Structures are given as C-alpha cells and as structure tokens.
Structure 1
Amino acid sequence: MIYLDYQATTPLAPEALAAMRPLLEDGFGNPHSPHRMGRAAKAAVEVARDRVAAPFGPGGRLLFTSGATEALNWAIKGIVETGSRRRLVTTAIEHAAVLDTIAWLGGRGHDVVMLPVDRSGIVDLDAARAAIDGNTALVAAMLVNNEIGTIQPIAELGAMARAAGATMICDAVQGYGRVPLPIEACDLIAVSAHKIHGPKGIGALWLRDGIEPAPLMHGGGQEGGLRSGTLAPALCAGFGAAAMLAFERIDTDEAHVEALWERANGLLGDWGLNGSAEHRWHGNLNVRRDGLDVSRLMGDVRDVAFSAGSACASGSGRPSHVLKAIGLTAAQARSSIRLGFGRYTTEQEIDTAIGLIREAADRQRAFA
C-alpha cells in the first residue's frame, strides 16, 4: 500500500515509538502518584511537555489534551464561558472541531459570523475587519487548511482580534512542525501529535500568559488545575519525541516535500488545482478532474491510500464545505481528490501512485 493521506494521519516515527515503549512496559506508573514509579512517569511527561512547548518560546504554558478536537472545544467554550461578549468569528473553511463547536454555541444565543474565503482559499480580510468589533469574544482560524493546504494570514487576523479586545484562537494542527507558528498573533494554539508522526490520542493547547479558559472537564484538575484526567505518559513521550524530531528536521522535511510536490504536479498534468499554489503547504495536493467519479476511482486504485477530503467528514455523502466555500460546484467538489505526502514518502511511490490514479481516471473517461 502506498500511503498518500498525510492530512488524515502520519506514520508513527520510529523515534516516537522508541520513546513510548518503556512507558508502556515497565514504566507504567500513574504520573499523578507520589511514589517512585509515579514520579518517574511524571518526569517523562514533563520532558515531553518541554519538547512540545519548545517552538513556542518563553512564556505561556502548554497543557496536554486527548487531541486537538478537545483542545479546540476547550479553547472556544472555555473563553466564551469566562466573558460576556456574544460574537464569535471564524472562517467558512475551518475543521469540524471549530465549526461544530461554534454552531453549538450559536444555537445557545451567540452571534456567529462566518468569514468567506476567495477562490484560492484565503480569508477575506475586509470582511474580517467589518466583523471583528467590541462585542467579539473570539476569533478562531486555522493556520493550514486540512483539505486544501492553504495558509491563512493569522498575523493579520490576530492583530484585528487584539485591537478589538477579542481572544485569538488558532488551529495549528496541520501547520505545527511544518510552517512558522504565528505565536505573537495568538492567545491559544491547538496542536496534535498524530499529524507530526506521533501517536493518536494526544494533543495540546498552548495558552498565552494571562489566558485561562474555563475547564471543559471537571475532576482532579491534573493539567494546570484546568484539565482533568490521568495523563498517558507513553502518549506524551511519543508526542515529545515526534515534536523534537519535527523541528530538528523542519528544513529537510520541507525540501523533501517541495521535491515531491513538483514531481506530483508534473505527473498530473492538466488536472486542476484546488486552492492557492503559492500560499499553501505543499504536502497537500488537492486536485480535480471534471467528470471524475471519485468513489469509483478509490475502488479501482486500492493499492494507494488517498482521500476525497477530510477523514472526519468521510462517508457523509455531502460535498466538501471547503471546496464549496472556494466556489466549486457540487460536481467539481465530488470530482476532487486529496493527495497528502511527507517525510516517509518516496519519489518512486509518487510516480507509481499517480500513474495508477491517472490510468484509472483515463479508463473512466474512455467508458463514459
């Protein structure tokens, strides 16, 4: 199987697995227990915390969660809970973890503003200026889009939020370890381990000094008195190892991805690109071919793992809300595929996979 679905999840790095193994075997102590095994597990957690938090620099604090979905729910609901402002501003192409949370709050009386994006997938900053006002509680925007890879102007959105006294929340899941983090522009940033070759089931929320969202879950308050639940030291260690490796290799990984991007685009030829080619993470290649039956294509090319969009929306039967937001018709959206690649993808795999995809697509056209 050739794996080209890096936006859904990434292969576990050997270094992350090696960091996890001792804590899954002999080092299984509860990190919140006072005895020697507990203290050893806690020490492993704190080493991991420092590694994940390192790219954020001095100041702030990083708290572990079960994943980015929890982190984003906590950031959004927690900030709303601590203030009286009613307006929530986000973009039309956010992940469901943001859109569904904000829609839930909208159903409880909050004023929701959905900012449009242009055909390249970049947010309309004029619309943002008009929407972000003195009644705005928060602005939530994604750094790198999970479906089309576009990079949003978080610095500009963050400046607008700060000028209005609103809180800036950033979903950096697809950008952490890949592109520069807009730390100065943000108050809370959500990240996830399994998008950077770490384990599933763990994420984190970075909080700027002075920012304290209300707890989402109540119990022991193990994480900074704000997030309850027993941490999994093995998952923390895997996240820490993956984060350290991602930032050590960030330039090498980027160069490798650029080479794969150029190769893949050359092989695809006349397929249309969805989203900006310039303001984009090039490990995400979302393309379309008019008239393509993507469901049939995926059945015909069983030896390649790729997708028709977000794994979270897979099987819904609805066209991608992201592709709809950039102006594609329902038919065009349903004729689009997403190819995701990265550190462990080879040029030979790109050649073989795209060859198989093109052959299957050509057969569809021939028998249409």
Structure 2
Amino acid sequence: MAGDICNPRRKQSDMLARIPFILKQVNEVSFEQRPERICGSDVSSRPLQSLKCASLVTHKIHYLDGGDMVLGRESSGVVSAGTLVPVTHLKPGDRVAIEPGATCRKCEACKEGRYQLCPEVKFAPTPPYAETLSRYYAVPADLAYPLPPHLTLEDGAMVGTYCTHSTPITDLPIQDGTVVRRSIAVFCCGPVGSLWMAVAKALGASRVIAVDIVPGRLESAKSYVATDVFLPPPMEKDESRIAYSKRSSVAMKEQLDITERGTKAIDLVVDASGAEVSIQAGPWIAKIGETYVQVGMGPPDITIDVSVVLVKELVMKGSFRYGDRASLSTSRTGKSSDGKGVIKAIIAGPDVDINAA
C-alpha cells in the first residue's frame, strides 16, 4: 500500500479514507469516513502517519459554532508511507511523536526559532485545518520525531503537552537533564497547573508550591506532586483586589517560610488561572531578579503593582505553545530525581512503578 499511495502517476483525485473521530455537538461524537488527498505534491515531504494515540482539548468546544469538527491535537503514530522527496530520518514502521502545528518557515519568528509565534501557523484542532484523530494524518517530515525505544506511543502523545509546559522551566539552570535545587510556585491546580508542577518536579525541582482556592484541588496536588500547598484567605468586605492580593501573598510567605532572597525564595512563579488576584500576587512572592510566567488567559485589563516588578527586576513573560528544542530534547533524555524518564514520571506519578504500568 505504501508504494501505491505515493505513486506520482496516480491521479490527484485519488483519495484514502481516514475515518476520523468527529465531535458533532456537545455529548455527540461519531466515526465517519472522510477522504483525504495524500498523493502527488500533497505528500512530497509529508510522510503518512497511522495514528495510535492523540490528546483531546476540551476548551476548543466553542469551535462547534462553525459546524462539526474532527478532534485531536498532540499525537503519536507509526509511519505508514514514504514521500516523493527523500527523507533520511524516517522510514515506514517508525514510531513517531507528531507536532500538530505547521508554520510558514519564512517569517522572522520562524527564522529565529520561535516558530510558535508564526502568524501563518496551521494548528490542529483549529478549523479549518485538519485534526489528528483519524486513521491517517499527513505531516511535514520534520514535524515527526522518532521515539526512542524507552518511550511508548502513549508517551509520544504526551511529548507536545510536555514541551508546552516545560519551555519556561528550561529557562532555569539545567544540569544533566534536571533542574538543580530550584523552587516553583504555581497558581491554580487545574489540569494545566498540575502539569506545570509535574514537569518541574520530574525535572528535579526541590520545592513545588501549589496555590488554589479549592481545598480538594490542593489535596490532589499534594498527593500527586506538590511539596507545599497554600489556600488563600477569603476576601474581606469592601477589600480591593490589589489589597487582598498583597495580604494573601504576605500570609503565604509567612505560612510557608518564603523569603525574597536565598534558598527559601521562589525561583519561578507561574499563574495558570488567569485570575486577576493571582496575577497580582505572583510578583510579590517571586524571588528578586527571577521570573514570573503568565499561562492562564485572563481579562484584558488588570491592575498590578509595577513598583514590585521594577524594584525586584523581575522577568515577566507569556507562554504560548512551544518552540524550544531544549524542551523536546529533555522530553526524550531528561531524568527525574529518581532516575525515571521525565515523561514516564509525569504520566505515572511519583509512587507508581512505571515498569508495571
């Protein structure tokens, strides 16, 4: 089949059924046979992947306003067909992690290696671009990354998600694939915040602090990955958000013995909530001269104490997808503090025997 698929003499109209997983509306999904062009110039540099594992992104539900959609983003698969242009790093049968975003490769951002900022990015599952959760998925050859023997296809489907959450963490000093004696505080213990903490812990962070207003989330974070947790106090009547955030951050530093300098300070603060009070509190608990990263989407207009940012000389940055090859390299070779592969440690958790999972 592989040779027939990539035969340039076949008509451009030839198709291959891919039978994708389709979200019709809320709580309604189906498998439907849909054609996909895979011959001629369409696959000149796009090996065909047989999909094995894919992730689903729940916050994309609003795309249903434009009609039904095929699901799937970060994925892994097996190379099922070659290309018309020689590709030296892949062959049919190879297991690969699939990067679900193709860019123009010509703009300033692409040339600088920050291709996640390309204005022409085609990212699954963002309509009208094809999503990955189907029998076959065509991808540019350099966006299919061979998996080493110790990573499974399930691990491969996690690589993209891991890179998204590890990119700013790799700004911290890394030695032998681990973050050495560093501490991180994460606001919001939902799926995104929890993965941030898991990545930091797997890379060897010595202290991982979870902050959330829901006690159950803190309990989950503590059982899974957090070394410390903090439940902010309730807001007082007529208290402004900025005043509340400052009071809450003072209480957090006192309760958890956090300083602004030295070994008890927080090297990296991440807000995964988008809540104004969390964004306000972050700079107050950050170590002098260190980094604050905004991950959660929040309101367009917020108030922060700029003097804290100036006096501490904080680095404030946003995080949008990934484009850091250091993250990809660490996902394949990085080790957690107990020697487990970093992806294995994140999936299995700290107390699970990954060899038996």
Q: Under TM normalisation by the shorter chain, which class is it?
A: 0.3 to 0.5
State the TM-score, normalized to the length of structure 1. 0.32
More strand by share: 2
Larger Rg: 2
State the TM-score, normalized to the length of structure 2. 0.32
